Amino acid sequence: MTEKIKNEYYIQMKRVILSGGGTGGHIYPAVAVAEALQRRCGDGVELLFVGAEGKMEMEKIPALGYRIVGLPTAGLQRRFALSNLALPFKVLKSVGRARRTICEFGADVVVGFGGYASGPVLWAAQRSGIPTLIQEQNSYAGLTNKILAHGARRICVAYDGMERFFPAERIVHTGNPLRGRFAVPTEADRLEGLAAFGLDAARPTVLVVGGSLGCRTLNETMKAWLARQEFRPPFQVIWQTGKYYEAEMRRFLEEHPAPGVWQGAFIDRMDRAYAAADVVVSRSGACSVSELCLVGKPTLFVPSPNVAEDHQTKNAQALVDRQAAVLVADAEAPARAMETAGELLADPARRTLLARNIAALAVPDAAERIVDEIEKIW
């Protein structure tokens, strides 16, 4: 390749910064879009992630083979905390570093997915004349995205009614981008999933999933329900306890064996778990909701109350309003959630209605739709 051709190739290559983090709900949508960009553009695109120092993206993103730059930004504590006093200085330092990163990288477009680092890098890009795109995962927009939406060329959303937060003319309904392949499972998929967990194909099954770190409420719900059933559960359960609670819940089951209950910290193949389940009990983070739409499973949501703007309740309620899910409040879950799941198992007609309605909300090509919008503005 001659030097001239190399220079022309360098000029034609598009450079994209993707920023978001703090939680998997911001990180993995960004990775899904990165993967879609690579599938479409191949060597014609160069990617750089920008995250927050000390947050999980600084470990997860390099492990997936991507380059990442960290900013010293942090979130505002909603209760009084001395750390809030340092926040303005961290933000100013982060904006300066974001400007240098954008300039040195030669970004053609910056895509923000929410989280601590997304704000400074989007703000710096917009004031440098770099096109920006925002992807909002939840039905209630995050503060960072609301503040920066007016400077964004496109705002990609997963829920209807988002014009109450964003300029309507810039909103594009793309759905939430997901990694992995999720689809409505076949009977063969169900049998394969049940076999993977060592469960009986003739018995109904409930999946209880609280995320990779775990969910105290759902774990306590399972403990209380098993005790009420005298450790003879009337249906099978796949119980994902999460990293933080694995040892405690394993000891609990060792002391109180319950036939037909599979328990583990992680589920590597969530597609198999979804396929095996007749009903799912889950938190209602944006990615979980999107996965459950794709697999079309009757779902009982127990929203976390410990998130900004109570967005998990709003996510779940958006589906409940369409008769696409059932909601049990966090405080009521230990007494009601598993019994309600049992009622769904006993009502095939309602399960069919919920499955049909939640599947109708699925957007299987969300990442590709977002790449379409990126290509329109770079």
Q: Three-state SS across 228-286? A: HCCCCCCCEEEEECCHHHHHHHHHHHHHCCCCCEEEECCCCCHHHHHHHCCEEEECCCH
Helices 348-359 and 333-345: angle between axes, nearest 10 degrees = 100
Residue 263, marked binder: no
Please check whether residue 240 is in contact with residue 273, taking contact to mean a CB–CB distance below 8 angstroms.
yes
Quote the pLDDT of residue 77. Answer: 45
Cα 219 to Cα 229: distance, rounded to the nearest angstrom: 15
Interacting residues of 231 by C-beta distance below 8 A, sequence separation 6+:
256, 257, 258
Q: How does DSSP classify residue 310?
A: G
Residue 283, marked binder: no
Give me the residue label for tokens 């010293």.
72
Please check whether residue 128 is in contact with residue 95, taking contact to mean a CB–CB distance below 8 angstroms.
no
Q: How does DSSP classify residue 325?
A: -
Quote the pLDDT of residue 88. Answer: 65
Please check whether residue 67 is in contact with residue 48, taking contact to mean a CB–CB distance below 8 angstroms.
yes
Query: What are the structural domains, with CATH classification, of the chain?
Result: 3-176+364-377 (3.40.50.2000), 187-359 (3.40.50.2000)
Q: How does DSSP classify residue 48?
A: E
Quote the pLDDT of residue 73. Answer: 78
Interacting residues of 349 by C-beta distance below 8 A, sequence separation 6+:
none
> Tokens for 325?
């899910």
Provide the β-strand partners of residue 300.
281, 326
Residue 24, marked binder: yes
Per the document, the length of the chain is: 378
Expressed in percent and rounded to 5, the helix, strand and coil fractions of the chain are: 50, 15, 35
| 54, 112, 174, 213, 311 from 87: Cα distances, Å | 15, 20, 33, 27, 24
Cα 319 to Cα 293: distance, rounded to the nearest angstrom: 10
Cα 60 to Cα 57: distance, rounded to the nearest angstrom: 5
Which residue type, as a one-letter code, is found at position 79?
R
> Tokens for 92?
């100013």
Walk along the chain (378 residues) in steps of 10 and give the mean pLDDT of each run: 52 90 86 97 97 92 96 62 54 92 98 90 97 96 91 96 96 94 95 98 97 91 98 98 94 97 94 98 95 98 90 96 98 98 98 98 97 97
Quote the pLDDT of residue 84. Answer: 46
Residue 142, marked binder: no
Which residue type, as a one-letter code, is found at position 109?
V
Residue 170, marked binder: no
> Tokens for 239?
């119980």
Please check whether residue 19 is in contact with residue 97, taking contact to mean a CB–CB distance below 8 angstroms.
no
Residue 212, marked binder: yes
Give me the residue label for tokens 């060329």.
153
Neighbours of 319 (CB within 10 A): 24
Residue 174, marked binder: no
**Exposure pattern of 343-374 as b/e (b: 16+ CB <10 Å)?**
ebbeeeeebeebbebbbebbbeebbbbbbbbb
Residue 25, marked binder: yes
